[in-house]
Amino acid sequence: MTSASEPTAPSILRPRRDPLLGVAIVGIALLYVRALAFTPIEARQGAAQKILYIHATSAIVGLYVAFGLMAVASLLYLWLKDAKLDRVAESAAEVGLVYTTAVLVTGPLWGKTIWGAWWTWDARLTSTLFLWFIIVGYLLLRGAVEEPGRRARYSAVLGILASLLVPFIHLSVYLFRTLHPMPIVLKPSAPSMPPEMQTTFFAGLLAFILLFAALLRTRYRLATLRDLVADRDQEHR
């Protein structure tokens, strides 16, 4: 059930150049050029406002896409017990952790210049940091449980529980008095940005979604390969 018998050894042994990863890297490079050189500087916040194009886009993809996928794959795993779904959940969690790391690294740089403080314990920031730690725990749990079926089941439950924090993080700016700005894109009304900034923002979002797809595919292949190695190890014993 949890065996990696699907991929055949010769095909997975072959090193692959992933064109999607190449396209995503070019997309991110273009975003950098457009954001830094061709997007106007916001009058009140200065150039630091440009952090939005990598901070908010990473947050949307990391929190909603990656951890959303982790939750759906975990739920489906508990239902169907298919090892592929466990690998999807694991891969989405790890890639989502990288995106959340980018969010937590860039946020303080914006905060220092706009708020005058690197960090504040407000609801949005604290709950995002809390989710980051839970996902680290999720990956540590996966490394600690050897039996594949039990590992997949435990991590599916933890993954679903962790993903419940995502709507809380989204709503935290409405539920609590926070320093973090209100959503400027993911809200019922139109985005509150001039058209040129909107173009940069949505181009960035597309680039980060492409990067997510490429990283997820690579990480999934890695998980498949690892399970195949584990199977072969068992056969040799």
Partner 1 sequence: MTPDNGAYATAAYVLVAVVYGVYVVSLKLRERRLRERLARLDAPARPAPSRAAGA
Binding residues (CB under 8 A) for partner 1: these are: 9, 12-13, 15, 21, 28, 32, 35-36, 41-51, 54-55, 58, 95, 98, 101-102, 105-106, 109-110, 112-113, 211, 215, 218-219, 221-222, 225-226, 228-229, 232-233, 236
Residue in the block written with tokens 């894109």: 185
Question: Positive or negative, the Cα torsion across 59, 60, 65, 68?
Answer: positive
Please identify, using beta-carbon distances, which residue of 132 and 168 lies nearer to partner 1.
Answer: 132
String of b and e for 54-70 (b: at least 16 CB within 10 Å)? bbbbbbbbbbbbbbebb
How distant is the alpha carbon of residue 162 from its chain centre?
A: 13
The most distant pair of C-alpha atoms in the chain lies apart, rounded to whole Å, by: 67
**Shortest spacing between CB 171 and partner 1, in angstroms:** 26
**Shortest spacing between CB 110 and partner 1, in angstroms:** 7
**Shortest spacing between CB 95 and partner 1, in angstroms:** 8
Please identify, using beta-carbon distances, which residue of 62 and 159 lies nearer to partner 1.
Answer: 62
**Shortest spacing between CB 123 and partner 1, in angstroms:** 23
List of residues 6+ apart from 122 with CB closer than 8 A:
176, 178, 179, 180
Please identify, using beta-carbon distances, which residue of 35 and 152 lies nearer to partner 1.
Answer: 35
What DSSP character marks residue 46? Answer: B
Please identify, using beta-carbon distances, which residue of 12 and 185 lies nearer to partner 1.
Answer: 12
Residue 141 CA to residue 192 CA, distance in Å, equals: 41
Please identify, using beta-carbon distances, which residue of 115 and 168 lies nearer to partner 1.
Answer: 115
Residue 182 CA to residue 87 CA, distance in Å, equals: 35
Helix, strand, or coil here: 42? strand
**Shortest spacing between CB 109 and partner 1, in angstroms:** 4
Please identify, using beta-carbon distances, which residue of 93 and 228 lies nearer to partner 1.
Answer: 228
**Shortest spacing between CB 168 and partner 1, in angstroms:** 24
What DSSP character marks residue 115? Answer: T
